[in-house]
Amino acid sequence: MSSTNAREEGFNLELRVYLIQYLVLAVFIALGIRFYVLQVARHEDYQARAENNRIRDIPIPASRGAIFDRNENLLVDNASAFNVVVTPEDITNKEDTVNALVQNLDIDRGELLVELNDPLRPKSQPILVKQNASLADRAWVAAHELEHPEITIDQQPQRVYKYGKLAAHLLGYIGQVNPKQLENPEFKAAGYKSGDIVGQDGIEKKYDRELRGQDGMRRVIVDSRGMPKAELARIEPIKGQDIILTLDLDLQKVAEQQFYSKNETGAAVVLNPQNGEILAMVSVPSFDPNVFARNVVSTGSRKEVAAIVNDPSHPMYNKAIQGIYPTGSTWKILMATAALEEGTITLKNSRIVCGGGIQVGNRFVHCGKNHGMPDIHAAIVHSCDGYFYRLGLKMGVDIIHDWVTRFGMGQRTGVDLPGEVRGIIPSREWKKRVNPRDPVWKDFDTVLASIGQGSVAVPPIQLIRAEAGIVIGGEFHTPHLFKQAKETQLGAVKYYDDKPTEVKLSELTIETVDYGMWGVINEGGTASGVGFPREINAGGKTGTAQVIAKEKVRGKEHKDHSWFISFAPMHTDQKPEIGVVCITENGGWGASASAPKVKMIEAAYFSKKLGRPILPELVALKTQPKRETTRPATGAPAKPNADPKRRPGTP
């Protein structure tokens, strides 16, 4: 083949070859520099990103501790639930994901967006969007695994309140920690993080640290689809401590049934006066805490929660510790004790005229009837207002205030439940503060305060703590529900640390009060017609708390609140071992609505103690009346007395 040297022809191929050679060299140098930049200068950054790519910490939630009653009957436990979770890190198109969840799994868009847009939440932490996923939900998630790898099914423990509404106020409920709580330094210090489930009320809240346990973690290598390929490390979760309450399930059932069976609302506290252990605590109406456990962002359960929160009868409100009511005549026990201790009266010389009432300035304040000139015993037994009006005037408001304050009135009892209120115990300073138009304390105020009316308003728990302290001889125990936390890897066994406040009271005073209360039931007193079994030797005191007159005019449901406080046994050589306080809202006279309830509770207590069966109808919670589903017949809106926000001077 004939060929021609390119150079001879003036066709400068060689130059072009050189040009290409240098061009190639330039390209290689540029690429080399780029590799150097990525692999040396920015190496650490990319190394971290490569690690983030492939290593993921998947939390293993710890089961919360179970809650038992004093006889180790299970009250609250965990069941395994299938939950739908979304991992924000794996979301490619937020709008698509949100639409898919809203349309197919019935999840609330607004709530979901709040969760998704939470800047505090780590992107790798899955968001629980639906608890208790149905079979259909699970099938949908499985079928859309490829389009939506960010949506997965997770098996997690779910809180189960075995008895639904029963004792809901004291057990409380759980929910995801909210942003406000996270800002709380105490929460921060305890290591709570966004998305954690925490106790939001009751025992669940108060003992959250004990109950919550410690989440475990799986550190896994994942592939580009987020599927775990291998496990690098695993920290097993540690279950929270089981808690044993002082509560007695049977008594709780009996106590609640007293209200439900009569379609009445109110509160009751049953405790052991000798140590403050709460055996039952009732607040009616109630709510089902399971609704909160189920609730995350599915529309259905949001509605259920909203129904509870917005219910005008305020079912979430624990009247036993948050409802404040005038004490009515139950107050007379405190008055009598104070007067005897102060020496205003002596047992030998305690007769004061009743007079059917008293003239104060231009007003006459009535007693129920004219009791003649009773002594202190008769005054208690027959609840003579006239006697106590005059006794109050003799003592003066300062001394009354001083003594009831020593008994803990107007202060929180320290019960181990969140949200307890202080109530109001009027004094000169108090009146000056809340009533600037009429700042001066008058005799008329003293007269009203002497029988627990007027401005006196306290939660039932405060009243029973004070009077329990007196009847057992001056030992004021803190009412409490916590008995024991069982040992786990996390915490040693814990018991309640009972530190009673001592107030020195004379034997004679105690004996007088004790005998008076016994007389109320057993010597033809105000509660003698209630039919307390003789052998239990119960003593008590009725009370009728006036509902503001204006309210009364509006409808007959605004009858007075009915109080009864009782201890048993009394007037024997034994100290009382059970104390019950009960308030029936708009129940009328003390002996008519509340005393029968207290009788049933005490009867049940002693039946149980003697090993006898408790009458089945007392515990027949399953046959609860219509209140379960329908609004109470009385339809009473929030009682002014039961709403602390409406009362002046309430902390």
Instruction: Output the smallest distance, CB 32 to another protein, in A.
Output: 6
221-240: contacts with another protein (CB under 8 A): 221-225, 229
203-222: contacts with another protein (CB under 8 A): 221-222
- Cα 167 to Cα 161, 256, 318: the distances in Å are 10, 8, 10
For residue 436, state whether it binds another protein (rule: CB under 8 A): no
Bridge partners, 76 (sequence order): 67, 161
For residue 122, state whether it binds another protein (rule: CB under 8 A): no
Instruction: Output the smallest distance, CB 40 to another protein, in A.
Output: 6
- Taking the C-alpha atoms of residue 305 and residue 57, their distance in angstroms, rounded to an integer, is 32
Instruction: Output the smallest distance, CB 129 to another protein, in A.
Output: 20
Of 32 and 179, CB closest to another protein: 32
Of 14 and 183, CB closest to another protein: 14
For residue 9, state whether it binds another protein (rule: CB under 8 A): yes
Of 123 and 646, CB closest to another protein: 123
- Taking the C-alpha atoms of residue 485 and residue 480, their distance in angstroms, rounded to an integer, is 14
- Of 40, 189, 492, 553, the one binding another protein (CB under 8 A) is 40
For residue 495, state whether it binds another protein (rule: CB under 8 A): no
For residue 42, state whether it binds another protein (rule: CB under 8 A): yes
Q: Going by DSSP bridges, is the β-strand pair 501-502/494-495 parallel, antiparallel, or unpaired?
A: unpaired
Please state whether 601 falls in left (phi above 0), alpha (psi between -120 and 50) or beta. alpha
Q: Which two tokens stand for residue 197?
A: 């489930």
- Of 21, 80, 99, 623, the one binding another protein (CB under 8 A) is 21
Going by C-beta distance under 8 Å and a sequence separation of 6 or more, which residues neighbour residue 273?
468, 469, 471, 472, 477, 567, 575, 576, 577, 578, 579
CA proximity to 527, closest of 544, 512, 508: 544
- Of 14, 96, 438, 498, the one binding another protein (CB under 8 A) is 14
Other C-beta atoms closer than 10 Å to the C-beta of 83 total 22
Q: Which stretch in 12-20, 435-443, 525-533, 535-543 sits in contact with another protein by CB under 8 A? A: 12-20
For residue 28, state whether it binds another protein (rule: CB under 8 A): yes
DSSP 284-312: ES---THHHHH-SSBHHHHHHHHHHHT-T
DSSP 31-68: HHHHHHIIIIITHHHHHHHHHHHHEEEEEEPPPPPPEE
For residue 1, state whether it binds another protein (rule: CB under 8 A): yes
Q: Going residue by residue from 46 to 65, which x/- string records binding to another protein, judged by CB under 8 A?
A: xx-xx--xx-----------
- Of 5, 349, 629, 630, the one binding another protein (CB under 8 A) is 5
- Of 45, 147, 502, 617, the one binding another protein (CB under 8 A) is 45
- Taking the C-alpha atoms of residue 610 and residue 600, their distance in angstroms, rounded to an integer, is 15
Is residue 502 within 8 A of residue 473, CB to CB? The reply is no
Q: Which stretch in 41-49, 56-64, 292-300, 511-519 sits in contact with another protein by CB under 8 A? A: 41-49
Q: Going residue by residue from 256 to 295, which x/- string records binding to another protein, judged by CB under 8 A?
A: ----------------------------------------
- Cα 179 to Cα 121, 139, 202, 413: the distances in Å are 10, 33, 20, 30
Q: What is the DSSP letter of 201?
A: S
Q: State the residues that interact with another protein by CB under 8 A.
A: 1, 3-6, 9-14, 16-17, 19-21, 23-25, 27-28, 30-32, 34-36, 38-40, 42-43, 45-47, 49-50, 53-54, 92, 221-225, 229
